[in-house]
Structure 1
Amino acid sequence: MKKTFIYSALLFCGVLTAQTSVKGIVFEDLNQNGKKEKKEKGIANVAVTNGREVVLTDKKGNYELPLQSDAIIAVIKPSGYKIQVNKDNLPQFFYNHKPAGSPKGKFEGVAPTGKLPESVDFGLLSQKETNDFTALIFGDPQPYTLEEVDFFARGIVAEVEGIKNIPFGLSMGDLVGNDLSLFNPYIQAIKKIGIPWYNLLGNHDLNFDAKEDKLADETYEAHFGPANYAFNYGKVHFIVLDDVLYPDPRDHDGYWGGFTEEQMQFIANDLKTVPKENLIVLAFHIPISEPDGKDDSFRDEDRQKLFELLKDFPNTLSLSAHTHMQRQDFFEKKDGWLQETPHHHYNIGTTSGDWYSGKLDEKGIPISVMRDGTPKGYAFIHFNGNKYTVDYKVAGKPEDYQMKVFAPKVVAKAKRTKSGVFANFFMGSKKDKVVYRVDQGEWKEMEYVEVQDPSYVELVYEWELSEVLMPGKRSSDPEKSTHVWRGNIPSDLAIGEHAIEIKATDMFGKTHTANTTYRIDKVK
Structure 2
Amino acid sequence: MKFCTPSYTLLLVFLFGGLVSVYGQQSISGHVYDEITKGIAGVVVSCGIHMAQTDENGHYEISVYGDEKYVQISIPQRYLVSVEQTRPIFYQEIVNNRSVYNFHLLKNKKDDTNHVVIVQTDVQAASETEYDIYKEAIVSDINLLLPQYAYSDIFGLDLGDMVGDKPELFPNYIHSMSSLPIPFFRTIGNHDMAYWGRSHETSERHFNQYFGPTTYSFNKGNAHYVVLNNNFFIGRDYFYMGYIDEKTFKWLEKDLSYVPKDKLVFLLVHIPTQLQAERKPFVYDYTALAGVTVNASALYQLLENYETHIISGHTHCNQNVVHHERLYEHNTAAACGTWWQADICTDGTPRGYAVYEVHGNDVEWYYKSAGHDRTYQMRVYRDPETHTIIANIWNYDPLWKVEWFENGVKKGDMEQFEGIDPLARELLSDKRKLKYDWISPSATGHLFRAEGIDDLSKVEVRVTDRFGHVYTEVLKK
* TM category, shorter: 0.7 to 0.9
Is the 2:25–2:63 Cα contact (8 Å) retained in structure 1? no
Whichever residue aligns with residue 338 of structure 2, its letter is D
Q: Assess, with a 3 A threshold, how the Cα gap between structure 1 residues 138 and 116 changes in structure 2: closer, same or farther.
A: farther
Counterpart CA distance in 2 for 1:516 and 1:318 is 36
119, 141, 165: which one aligns with 2:123: 141
SS of 1:482's equivalent? strand
Is the 2:122–2:314 Cα contact (8 Å) retained in structure 1? yes
Q: Which residue of 2 aligns with 1:310?
A: 303
Out of 219-228 and 508-517, give the one that drifted further.
508-517
Counterpart CA distance in 2 for 1:69 and 1:472 is 45
Counterpart CA distance in 2 for 1:161 and 1:116 is 44
Q: Assess, with a 3 A threshold, how the Cα gap between structure 1 residues 125 and 375 changes in structure 2: closer, same or farther.
A: same
Out of 230-239 and 206-215, give the one that drifted further.
206-215
**Match status 1:270 vs 2:251:** no
Q: Which residue of 1 aligns with 2:143?
A: 161
Q: Which residue of 2 aligns with 1:324?
A: 316
**Match status 1:386 vs 2:383:** no
**Match status 1:185 vs 2:183:** no
133, 137, 140: which one aligns with 1:151: 133
Q: Normalized against structure 2, the TM-score is what?
A: 0.87
Counterpart CA distance in 1 for 2:389 and 2:398 is 18
Q: Assess, with a 3 A threshold, how the Cα gap between structure 1 residues 254 and 423 changes in structure 2: closer, same or farther.
A: same
SS of 1:265's equivalent? helix
Alpha-carbon deviation of 1:508? Answer: 3.0
252, 255, 258: which one aligns with 2:243: 258
Alpha-carbon deviation of 1:274? Answer: 1.1
- For the aligned residue pairs, the C-alpha RMSD in angstroms reads 2.4
Alpha-carbon deviation of 1:437? Answer: 0.5
**Match status 1:279 vs 2:264:** yes
Counterpart CA distance in 2 for 1:17 and 1:385 is 46
Q: Assess, with a 3 A threshold, how the Cα gap between structure 1 residues 44 and 405 changes in structure 2: closer, same or farther.
A: same
Alpha-carbon deviation of 1:63? Answer: 0.9
Counterpart CA distance in 2 for 1:240 and 1:23 is 24
Identity %: 27
**Match status 1:351 vs 2:338:** no
Whichever residue aligns with residue 462 of structure 2, its letter is K
Counterpart CA distance in 1 for 2:250 and 2:212 is 19
Point out the structure with the larger strand share.
2
Q: Assess, with a 3 A threshold, how the Cα gap between structure 1 residues 394 and 133 changes in structure 2: closer, same or farther.
A: same
Counterpart CA distance in 2 for 1:330 and 1:212 is 34
Is the 2:320–2:397 Cα contact (8 Å) retained in structure 1? yes
- Map of 1:331-346 to 2, 5 A cutoff? 331-332=323-324, 341-346=325-330
Q: Assess, with a 3 A threshold, how the Cα gap between structure 1 residues 57 and 342 changes in structure 2: closer, same or farther.
A: closer
Q: Which residue of 1 aligns with 2:234?
A: 247
**Deviations 1:249-284, CA, capped at 9 Å, x for gaps:** xx8871010111111111111111112111100000
72, 75, 79: which one aligns with 1:77: 75
Whichever residue aligns with residue 358 of structure 2, its letter is F
Q: Assess, with a 3 A threshold, how the Cα gap between structure 1 residues 221 and 82 changes in structure 2: closer, same or farther.
A: same
Q: Which residue of 2 aligns with 1:439?
A: 407
Q: Assess, with a 3 A threshold, how the Cα gap between structure 1 residues 320 and 384 changes in structure 2: closer, same or farther.
A: same
Tell which structure's C-alpha radius of gyration is larger: 1
Counterpart CA distance in 2 for 1:312 and 1:116 is 41
Counterpart CA distance in 1 for 2:66 and 2:92 is 13
20, 25, 28: which one aligns with 1:22: 28
Counterpart CA distance in 2 for 1:270 and 1:61 is 18
Is the 2:231–2:271 Cα contact (8 Å) retained in structure 1? yes
Q: Assess, with a 3 A threshold, how the Cα gap between structure 1 residues 488 and 298 changes in structure 2: closer, same or farther.
A: closer
Is the 2:403–2:410 Cα contact (8 Å) retained in structure 1? no
SS of 1:498's equivalent? coil
Structure 1 stretches of 4+ with a deviation exceeding 6 A read: 298-301, 469-475
Q: Assess, with a 3 A threshold, how the Cα gap between structure 1 residues 516 and 391 changes in structure 2: closer, same or farther.
A: same
When the two structures are aligned, how many residues end up with a matched partner?
442
Counterpart CA distance in 2 for 1:344 and 1:52 is 27
